[in-house]
A and B are shown apart, each in its own frame.
Chain A
Amino acid sequence: MNTSLLVWIILAPLIGSILNAGFYFYHIKKEKVSDLTFSIIGTVTPLISFLITLSLFLRMNDEGITFKQDLFTWLAVDKLHIGMSLLGDNLSIFMSMFVTFVGWLIHIYAIGYMKGDNGFGKFFAYFNLFLASMLILVLADNPIILFIGWEGVGVCSYLLIKFYYGKAENVIAANKAFIVNRVGDFGFILGVITLFFALGEVNLSFSSIESNIANASSELLVLSGVLLFIGAMGKSAQIPLYVWLPDAMAGPTPISALIHAATMVTAGVYMVARFHFLYSGIEEIGLLIAYIGAFSALLAAIIATKQTDIKKILAYSTMSQLGYMFIAVGLGFYSTGLFHVFTHAFFKAMLFMCAGGVILAVHHRQNIFDIAKHRAQTPIIKFTFLIGVIAISGVPFFSGFFSKDAILAAAFQEGEYLIWGIALFTAFLTAFYMFRLYFIVFVAPTKHEVKYEYTSMTITIPLLLLAIGAVAAGYLNLPVILGGEHLVDTWLAQLKSTPIHMSHSTEWILMILSVAVATSGIFVAYKKYAKFDIYHPEEETGLVGKKFYIDELYDYLFVKSTKKLSTFIDKVIDDKIIDGFIMNSSNTFINIGKKISISQNANVRFYAAFMMLGMTCIFIYLYIKLGL
């Protein structure tokens, strides 16, 4: 049914962003605007979005309806009719709920984290803009409007990563993020266009695409599926377009928490789920997606075991968990994958926020060994961090266990044993490197005197709230064998995901296996790192430590070669060949002129002689012609 509330979910943070931007310009030009103003505008607007989403959710839960809002015709050319339409169905409200809630909490966190920074107002302006873009993305009713949000989050990510732009490497990281994302967007746009023409130029709203999908030839559907997924690869940091995510950690921690953990990177998963009707029909591509997810998860986990920067470890773990999500949606288990998105948002945002809290407490160090050397006592952060690490490792009773386990079960059920094996091994590695991180930062013995460091409430309260979520969120989709009701799966029934249907004994065995794997990972990490000598720290060396030299490879293959090509075009083709041709032709004229001008020697007798010659020729001509 139609509602006019949907647009306000997007407009609230958008207006907040514009207000903050205006105040920020006033702040730098005329007089100071207090941080409080920025904070209030910045945090009230996500709250408004969340409350609206919540009210819609409750109505949908009671009455079983979905919401739509058609704002205006965006573009109408020939047969391409795109409306600025918003769709509030179960999937989008589901996404919107945790995006706005986690977003709101991170905005509160940012008040404490960014305190005292000159660009405080600018930060909140960008942050609200990001939230607005993400909401456009999830609430859009057709892929072009989705793309507006898609690129919007990309540009906000760019703006925020380069927040401290004075230093070149931050801007370079931002450029890398944007450009790699753009490669993905190239694929996405082509996917949408292919789909449009394959369907015979129909209306592009999602419901219309879904109903017309039978008309398209399967080759074209496969092609669009692949192209759309290329977009997801870029946005969600899967192989081969993942290289921007670790570098994106150059931005302030709140954005790592929100953008690169909970929201933007999950846009790819959302997109595949939204196009479920397309991917369910092209199962080979789904399998490809699942394999890419599996290998990305594995690669990221391997690299993470040797990383020493706290945020980079978390970045790789994000990439790894995203891989899990893609395994699920690739194999057709859309609600399972989205369930993992949901739980991951809570514990990953929380982990990043803890990392930020720790970084602040030890006065801006990010190497885990340095942090340990200067460790401060931060009890709440330590507690919530532990909860997060346990959740991500897949320990029972915490949310990560339920969602990850469901994915493993899904892979096993489909008979994709290789994927299942990779996922299981990666779970081992996940537990290992996350607890490595925990032990080194918080547990390993340090000679430093550990003093209590106060962390402001704006940091600790969101952490605690998220910790509750990190534990409780799992219970929303409890599998039947444990007495639960599959709430998330039921809510997302529109996606027609494959249900997890296996004999109870198989399910129990799988569950026990994953618990065993997680526990052994924790155990190995404990043995190695709980009493680690932090004064002989690990370096990032070796093949794994150097991230398999992939960054260097990309640099060589793409960046350097394009630069060489550019110089070649400029100096050789343009200057020498084409322009050379032009200049040569003009020089030829000049030279001919010079040769002719030799006859202009100002010598009277010479001129007279020529005149005679000329006249003689004329007379001869006349004589012949006129037959005299």
Chain B
Amino acid sequence: MISLTTYAFVAMMLFSLGVIGVIARRNIFVIYMSIEMMLNGVNLFLVTFARYHFNMDPQVITVMVIAIAAAEAAIFLSVIILLYRSRKSLDTDVFNILKQGENS
């Protein structure tokens, strides 16, 4: 049998790649996709533990997470459209009006 550790490792990889993607990439879409990847990594963790401990509760949580991710997608994409309209750019570093320092 493939051990729990292997699945956990894969899920960890997914999650970490997601984190790195959120932090290191500037394109909003890429950040979004990384967030989704993080969520999938967490889902994989949950399902793995459900399978290996014969418990239904993590699977319930997984279904909830998928639903919430979908809702989040809707909102996220709307906000991206609004941001693009205001600044004509998809680069997150451009949105820095709230910066403390020289401006305020």
Contacts and interface: CB of A to CB of B under 8 A. Distances in A.
Physical contact A–B (CB less than 8 Å): yes
Interface of A: 597-598, 600-605, 608-609, 612
B95 A608 contact: no
B5 interface: no
Contacts of A597: 100-101
Contacts of B22: 605, 608
Contacts of A608: 22-23
Interface of B: 19, 22-26, 31, 92-93, 95-101
B101 A604 contact: no
A605 B32 CA distance: 12
B17 to A, nearest CB: 13
A609 B19 CA distance: 8
B7 to A, nearest CB: 19
B23 A600 contact: no
Contacts of B95: 602, 604
A602 to B, nearest CB: 4
A196 to B, nearest CB: 67
B101 A601 contact: yes
B28 to A, nearest CB: 9
A603 B92 CA distance: 7
Contacts of B98: 600, 602
Interface of B is mostly: loop
20 contacts: A598-B100, A598-B101, A600-B98, A600-B99, A600-B101, A601-B96, A601-B101, A602-B96, A602-B97, A602-B99, A603-B93, A604-B95, A605-B23, A605-B24, A605-B25, A605-B26, A605-B93, A608-B22, A608-B23, A609-B23
Contacts of B96: 601-603
Contact of B92 (A598, A600, A604, A612): A604
B32 to A, nearest CB: 12
A598 B26 CA distance: 20
A604 B22 CA distance: 9
B80 to A, nearest CB: 12
Contacts of A609: 23
Given A603-B92, A604-B92, A612 B23 contact: yes
A394 B25 CA distance: 115
A612 B19 contact: yes
Contacts of B23: 605, 608-609, 612
Contacts of B100: 597-598, 600-602
Contacts of A612: 19, 23
B26 to A, nearest CB: 7
B82 to A, nearest CB: 15
Nearest to A605: B23
Nearest to A606: B23
Contacts of B101: 597-598, 600-601
A581 B84 CA distance: 51
A608 B20 CA distance: 10
A141 B19 CA distance: 97
A81 to B, nearest CB: 70
A609 B25 CA distance: 12
